[in-house]
């Protein structure tokens, strides 16, 4: 079933649809939110409230062709608002959240054996050199598999900005990565 159909069922009040949406997206939402804050209680509460709200407001919800996009937009706005409140920063959700760090780490790189460690470390270092917004865009693109258009909506920035953020970020990461592959190749031969 595609997102459009599932969303329609939700709007019609089928509780199963809510459950399905939850099951399909919970891990992705959790992972996204945890990049803004390590506080898993805050993340859990926010996700809880979002799902309860979606259900309560189901009849007035707009249409969406990408449920994960809809949820990410809502989650992002809400989590930034709550972090801002906790840290006493007014209007953080409207700024480009320079004050907030988007933390990316690579814990499950699935590359072979001891290479996994080397690989993680190298990328880890390279990731540190990127800006929060670059990291967030790359995360949405490569972890959530989002299209550029959807990333625009979630991050509330222009198409060209998204492309630039990702392009430059990837080039930076890849330079590190390629150097690393070259070194490993050298050591192995």
Partner 1 sequence: MAHEDLHKFQQDLIQDSSFIAWVKSEFDIDNDRWSVFIDEHIEKMDEINNAIRFVVALDFHDENKIDTKALWSKIESETKPDIKSAKIVKFKPWKMVAAIASIAVAILLIFKPLSHGDYLKTYKASITQRIKEPFPDGSAVTLNPGSEVTFNSKKWEQERRVSLKGLAFFEVRKGASFVVETDKGKITVLGTSFSVDTRNQHFEVICKTGKVSVLSSFGQETILEPGGVATLIGEHLHTQTRPEGAIGLVSWLDGTFTFNDVDYGEVIEEIENQYGVKVNMEASLYTLKYTGFFKNNHLNDALFSITWPLKLKYSIKGTEVFIVKE
CB of 37 to partner 1, least distance (A): 11
Q: How many Å separate Cα 56 from the centre of its chain?
A: 25
Binding flag, residue 8, partner 1 (CB under 8 A): no
Asked whether 5 and 48 are in contact (CB, 8 A), the reply is no
Binding flag, residue 108, partner 1 (CB under 8 A): yes
Binding flag, residue 89, partner 1 (CB under 8 A): no
Task: Give the residue, chosen from 4, 5, 12, 48, that forms a contact with partner 1 under the rule CB under 8 A.
Answer: 48
The rounded distance, in Å, linking the Cα atoms of 72 and 50 is: 10
Q: Which of 133, 188, 129 is nearest to 163 (CA)?
A: 133
Contacts of 175 (CB under 8 A, 6+ apart): 126
CB of 163 to partner 1, least distance (A): 9
Q: Would you say 105 or 160 has its CB closer to partner 1?
A: 105
- Residue 1 CB burial class (10 angstroms; 0-12, 13-18, ≥19): exposed
143-182 positions binding partner 1, by CB under 8 A: 143, 145, 147, 166-167, 170-171, 173-174, 177-178, 181
Q: Would you say 2 or 107 has its CB closer to partner 1?
A: 107
The rounded distance, in Å, linking the Cα atoms of 82 and 48 is: 14
Task: Give the residue, chosen from 4, 87, 94, 105, that forms a contact with partner 1 under the rule CB under 8 A.
Answer: 105
Options 60-68, 75-83, 85-93, 136-144: segment touching partner 1 (CB under 8 A): 136-144
């Amino acid at each position: 079933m595609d997102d459009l159909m599932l969303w329609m069922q939700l709007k019609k009040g089928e509780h199963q649809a809510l459950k399905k949406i939850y099951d399909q997206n919970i891990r992705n939402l959790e992972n996204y939110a945890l990049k803004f804050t390590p506080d898993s209680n805050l993340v859990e509460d926010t996700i809880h409230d979002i799902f309860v709200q979606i259900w309560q407001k189901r009849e007035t919800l707009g249409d969406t062709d990408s449920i994960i996009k809809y949820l990410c937009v809502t989650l992002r706005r809400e989590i930034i608002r709550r972090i801002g409140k906790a840290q006493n920063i007014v209007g953080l959700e409207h700024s480009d959240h320079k004050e907030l760090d988007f933390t990316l780490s690579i814990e499950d790189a699935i590359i072979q054996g001891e290479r996994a460690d080397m690989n993680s470390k190298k990328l880890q270092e390279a990731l540190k050199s990127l800006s929060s917004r670059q990291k967030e865009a790359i995360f949405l693109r490569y972890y959530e598999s989002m299209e550029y258009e959807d990333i625009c909506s979630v991050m509330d920035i222009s198409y060209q900005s998204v492309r630039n953020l990702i392009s430059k970020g990837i080039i930076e990461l890849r330079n590190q990565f390629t150097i690393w592959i070259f070194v490993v190749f050298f050591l192995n031969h």
